[in-house]
């Protein structure tokens, strides 16, 4: 059984082509800007759904995938449920369905290793390159994320590297340069996705009775994003932004 928060059909931002996005419940990070704070609790919340139902839904939507689309497992952090995902992903591969895993790469165990060997692409979320700033944003270190990135590079696994640009938190030029200097030479990274911070999930904090800790943070301007993009384009051949 998988603990599923929600589904999104015809998704266009979570991997190549049109995709069925499966948002799984549970995350070991506490990102200050999390747009889905209701997905964070592990072992509770969401709905328990049989893996066969997810497979059935994917097969029913396959006509819309075309040659590039498929299924993306997001969250929360999908590797929290890596053991349960393995047989489902094997079944999806038997059906010829492309699989993306949207992960921050912090969970490392044999189940995650096996899962990474099955999926076709990883959308790797690097929250920050500077360790103290990473911990400020997520409450956790970035050590395992960097180790997972090295593992994916050694595997030759296609990766889209994701970086959320948050004014006052992850917008420092030195952090952007550090990101490029570290990852710019990774041959398996197809592109860097620069994702502007947004407040779409702010109302969820009010519903949950939790304070929204970035109340004073503004959404980045086009000029701020363009400036960050110019830095990152020195290191990555493709920098994509929403």
3-state SS of the chain? CEEEEEEEEEECCCCCCCEEEEEECCCCCCCCCCCCHHHCCCCCCCEEECHHHHHHHHHHHHHHHCCCCEEEEECCCHHHHHHHHHHHHHHHHHCCCEEEEEECCCCCCHHHHHHHHHCCEEEEECCCCCHHHHHHHHCCCCHHHHHHHHHHHHHCCCEEEEEEECCCCCCCHHHHHHHHHHHCCCCCEEEEEEEECCCCCHHHHHHHCCCCCCCCCCCCCHHHHHHHHHHHCCCCCCEEEC
* Residues composing the chain: 242
pLDDT at 176: 98
What pairs with residue 48 in β-bridges?
Answer: 3
Give the total number of structural domains in the chain.
Answer: 1
Q: What is the pLDDT of residues 119-143, one digit of tens each?
A: 999 999 999 999 999 999 999 999 9
Asked whether the predicted pLDDT for residue 242 surpasses 90, the reply is no
pLDDT at 172: 96
Q: Residue 67 belongs to a domain with what CATH number?
A: 3.20.20.70
Mean pLDDT in residue range 63-92? 97
Summarize the confidence of residues 142-151 as an average pLDDT.
98
pLDDT tens-digit series, residues 8-59: 999 999 999 999 999 999 999 999 999 999 999 999 999 999 999 999 999 9
* pLDDT value at 110 more than 90: yes
Category of 162 on φ-ψ map: left (φ > 0), alpha (ψ -120 to 50) or beta: beta
For all residues of the chain together, what is the average pLDDT? Answer: 96
Among 54-58, 71-75, 175-179, 213-217, whose mean pLDDT is lowest?
213-217
CB 51 within 8 A of CB 88: yes
- pLDDT at residue 29 in the model: 96
What is the domain range of residue 229? 2-241
Say what the pLDDT of residue 100 is. Answer: 98
CA 204 to chain CA mean position, Å: 19
- Angle 28-9-138 from CA coordinates, rounded to 5°: 20
Q: What is the pLDDT of residue 55?
A: 98
């Amino acid at each position: 059984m998988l603990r599923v928060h929600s589904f999104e059909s015809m998704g266009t931002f979570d991997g190549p082509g049109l995709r069925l996005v499966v948002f799984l419940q549970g995350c070991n990070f506490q990102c200050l800007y999390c747009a889905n704070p209701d997905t964070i609790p592990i072992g509770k919340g969401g709905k328990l759904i049989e893996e066969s139902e997810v497979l059935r839904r994917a097969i029913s939507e396959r006509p819309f995938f075309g040659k590039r689309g498929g299924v993306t497992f997001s969250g929360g952090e999908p590797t929290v449920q890596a053991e349960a995902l393995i047989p489902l992903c094997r079944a999806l591969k038997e059906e010829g369905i492309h699989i993306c895993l949207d992960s921050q790469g912090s969970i490392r165990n044999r189940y995650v290793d096996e899962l990474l060997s099955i999926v076709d692409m990883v959308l790797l979320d690097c929250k920050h390159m500077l360790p103290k700033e990473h911990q400020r944003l997520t409450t956790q270190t970035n050590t395992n994320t960097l180790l997972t990135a090295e593992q994916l590079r050694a595997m030759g696994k296609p990766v889209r590297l994701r970086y959320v640009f948050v004014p006052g938190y992850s917008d420092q030029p030195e952090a952007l340069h550090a990101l490029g200097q570290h990852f710019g030479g990774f041959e398996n990274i197809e592109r860097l996705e620069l994702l502007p911070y947004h407040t779409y999930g702010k109302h969820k904090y009010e519903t949950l009775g939790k304070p929204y800790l970035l109340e004073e943070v503004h959404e980045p301007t086009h000029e701020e994003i363009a400036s960050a993009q110019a830095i990152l384009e020195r290191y990555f051949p493709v920098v994509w932004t929403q």
